[in-house]
């Protein structure tokens, strides 16, 4: 990908359900090393847009380009294999497993060799995520031992819940994280490290 070229470009994306438009000619550019935010009321189409970007839904019309090449994922896995991942809005935590397992949930295959799960590697990645978020959490403890309610989250800089991404470069074990009030440059480095 050329220096300065957009990471992701959407042109004229549209989607309707039962003839009712949800998205109408949505276009945007996500530059490399940046954070792009979509804000809107409930029902504005944000989830539909993310469903299209992550391969869950097909647009009725419009195009996507990822790293300068046409991008039309036909499944969530296909999008993930191209380096596009998603942290779902209503992400629930499994309280009776360790924090590190929650952080890599759904990505266990990246830590499996010869049929065995490398838990030490999972713990190393989880520790890096938590440290990047500025938290003092023992990732080996059960998740239920911590209070991650939204009131607690706003007081404690927020948890680093996310999903490991970047199948194109799994050795980096980059992860998307969610944390309020961090510096924009720190968020950019973490969110777009693909």
Q: Which of 81, 113, 134 is the last residue of a domain?
A: 81
Alpha carbons 116 and 16: distance in angstroms, whole number: 45
- Contact of 169 with 175, CB cutoff 8 Å: no
pLDDT of residue 3: 67
- pTM of the shown model: 0.55
Answer yes or no: do 111 and 176 share one domain.
yes
Q: Residue 49 sits in a domain of what CATH number?
A: 3.40.50.300
Count of the separate structural domains present in the chain: 2
> With contact defined as beta carbons under 8 Å apart, do 10 and 38 qualify?
no
> Helix (H) and strand (E) counts for the chain?
6, 6
Q: For residues 174 and 114, state if they share a domain.
A: yes
Residue 61 belongs to domain spanning: 8-81
Give the number of other CB atoms < 10 A from CB of residue 59.
21
Looking at 81, 108, 136, which one is the last position of a domain? 81
* Domain identity same for 114 and 177: yes
Q: Residue 57 pLDDT > 60, yes or no? A: yes
Kindly state the average pLDDT of the residues 52-78: 93
Span 120-142, average pLDDT: 89
Please check whether residue 88 lies inside any domain of the structure. no
Query: How confident is the model at residue 2, as a pLDDT?
Result: 60
pLDDT score at 1: 59
Residue 21 located in a structural domain: yes
3-class SS at 128?
helix
Among candidate residues 81, 110, 143, the one where a domain is terminated: 81
Q: How confident is the model at residue 154 (pLDDT cuts 50, 70, 90)?
A: very low
Residues 36 and 120 in one domain: no
Output 188 or 131, whichever has higher pLDDT.
131
Tell whether 63 is covered by a domain: yes
Indicate whether 127 and 180 sit together in one domain: yes
Q: Which of 5-19, 126-140, 167-181 has the lowest mean pLDDT?
A: 167-181
The pLDDT of residue 76 is 84
pLDDT score, position 122: 93
* Residue 158 is assigned to a structural domain of this protein: yes
112 shares its domain with 72:
no
162 in the same domain as 123:
yes
Query: Does some domain include residue 93?
Result: no
In this prediction, residues 62-74 reach a mean pLDDT of 95
Kindly tell me if the per-residue pLDDT of 131 is higher than 80.
yes
What per-residue confidence (pLDDT) applies to 90?
59
Between CA 141 and CA 69, with CA 105 as vertex, the angle to 5 degrees is 140
């Amino acid at each position: 990908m050329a220096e300065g070229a957009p990471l992701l470009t959407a042109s004229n994306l549209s989607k309707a359900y039962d003839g009712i438009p949800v998205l109408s000619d949505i276009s945007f550019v996500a530059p490399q090393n940046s954070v792009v935010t979509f804000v809107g009321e409930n029902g504005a189409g944000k989830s539909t847009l993310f469903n299209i970007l992550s391969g869950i839904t097909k647009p009725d019309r419009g195009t996507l380009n990822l790293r300068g090449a046409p991008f039309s994922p036909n499944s969530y896995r296909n999008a993930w294999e191209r380096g596009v991942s998603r942290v779902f809005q209503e992400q629930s935590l499994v309280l009776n497993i360790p924090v590190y397992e929650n952080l890599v949930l759904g990505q266990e295959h990246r830590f499996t060799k010869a049929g065995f799960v490398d838990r030490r590697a999972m713990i190393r990645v989880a520790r890096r995520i938590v440290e990047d978020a500025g938290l003092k959490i023992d990732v080996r403890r059960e998740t239920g031992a911590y209070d991650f309610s939204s009131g607690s989250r706003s007081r404690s800089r927020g948890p680093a819940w996310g999903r490991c991404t970047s199948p194109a470069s799994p050795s980096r074990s980059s992860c998307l994280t969610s944390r309020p009030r961090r510096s924009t440059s720190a968020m950019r480095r973490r969110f777009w490290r693909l």
